[in-house]
Amino acid sequence: MTRAPVYDRDGKTAGEVDLAEAIFGVTPHTAVLHEAVLWQLAGRHRGTHSTLTRGMVSRSTRKLYRQKGTGRARHGARGAPVFVGGGIVFGPQPRSYKYALNKKVRRLALRSALSARAAEGRIAVLDRLDLDAPKTKTVAAALRAAGLGVKGSDVRSVLLVTASPNEMVERSAANLGGVRVAAASALNVHAILAADRIVFTRDALERLVEGLGA
C-alpha cells in the first residue's frame, strides 16, 4: 500500500494516509504519458502565425514589362513570390492545433503520472488549509515547515491541489515563486510532471479519488 505523509497547517507531521492503489499504485505507462503531454501542449498552441500570400501583399499589380520580345522570363505583378517583398507560397496561416484524445487514455495518463510521483515519494497531504482571506505567509509557512517550501530546500516547484477552485489559496500563493495551485478537477499530466512535489489538501485527495477512482 502506497502511503503519503500528512502535515497540519503548522507543518507538523500528523501521521500518514493510504493512497488509493487504483490511482497511485499503477505501473506508469510511458507511451501514454508522452501522448497526453503532447496533446496538452498542442491544445495550448495558439496557432496565430500568419503570412501574406500573393493576394495580400501591398504591391503594384501593373505588368512589369511586355509579355514577349524582351528575352526575359514572363512576369506579371510585382507581388509574385519570386520577387523580394512578394507574397509567400504555402506559408503558415492561423489554425487550431487541438485534437481529440480518448478519455480512457487521458485517465490512464493521469493515473500513471500520479503513480510515478507517489513511487518517488513526492506526494504529501495537508490536513486542512482554510483561509478566510488571502494570507501568503500562512501558505508559505505551511509548505516551508513541511519541507516543501521553495526557499531553504531542494524543492524548486510545488503543485498545491485543492478540492475546488479556491480564490483565497490562489491569491495567497500568487507571490510564491514555484508554487502553483490547481483544483482536483483541473489536475493534468503536464502540471504533475513539471512539479517537484504534489501537495494535496485532504479534501482534495478525497475529491480526486471520487472522480478518478471509478
Cβ-Cβ contacts under 8 Å for 54 (sequence gap 6 or more): 77, 79, 80, 81, 86, 87, 89
pLDDT tens digits for 162-202?
Answer: 988 888 888 888 888 888 999 999 999 999 999 988 999 88
Identify the H or E element spanning 35.
helix 30-44
Is residue 33 very low, low, confident or very high in pLDDT (cuts 50, 70, 90)? Answer: very high
Cβ-Cβ contacts under 8 Å for 202 (sequence gap 6 or more): 6, 17, 125, 126, 127, 128
Work out the burial of residue 207: count CB atoms within 10 Å of its CB; fewer than 13 is exposed, 13-18 middle, 19 or more buried. Answer: buried
Which one is predicted more confidently, 155 or 91? 91
- Cα–Cα separations (whole angstroms), residue 148 to 18, 109, 179: 20, 25, 10
pLDDT of residue 149: 59
* pLDDT surpasses 70 at 31: yes
Cα–Cα–Cα angle for 119, 122, 125, nearest 5°? 110
What the chain holds in terms of domains, given with CATH numbers, is 3-46+100-212 (3.40.1370.10), 51-91 (no CATH)
* pLDDT surpasses 80 at 55: yes
pLDDT of residue 154: 53
* Per-range mean pLDDT, top range of 12-26, 125-139, 147-161: 12-26
* pLDDT surpasses 70 at 151: no
Please spell the DSSP secondary structure of 134-203, one letter per residue: --HHHHHHHHHHTT--STTSS---EEEEESS--HHHHHHHTTSTTEEEEEGGG--HHHHHH-SEEEEEHH
pLDDT of residue 105: 95
This prediction has a pTM of 0.81
Which one is predicted more confidently, 204 or 151? 204
- C-alpha span between 189 and 178 (Å, rounded): 17
* pLDDT surpasses 80 at 20: yes
Q: Which residues on adjacent β-strands are paired with residue 183?
A: 162
Q: Are 7 and 126 in contact (CB under 8 A)?
A: yes
pLDDT tens digits for 97-146?
Answer: 999 999 999 999 999 999 999 999 899 998 877 777 787 888 887 787 76
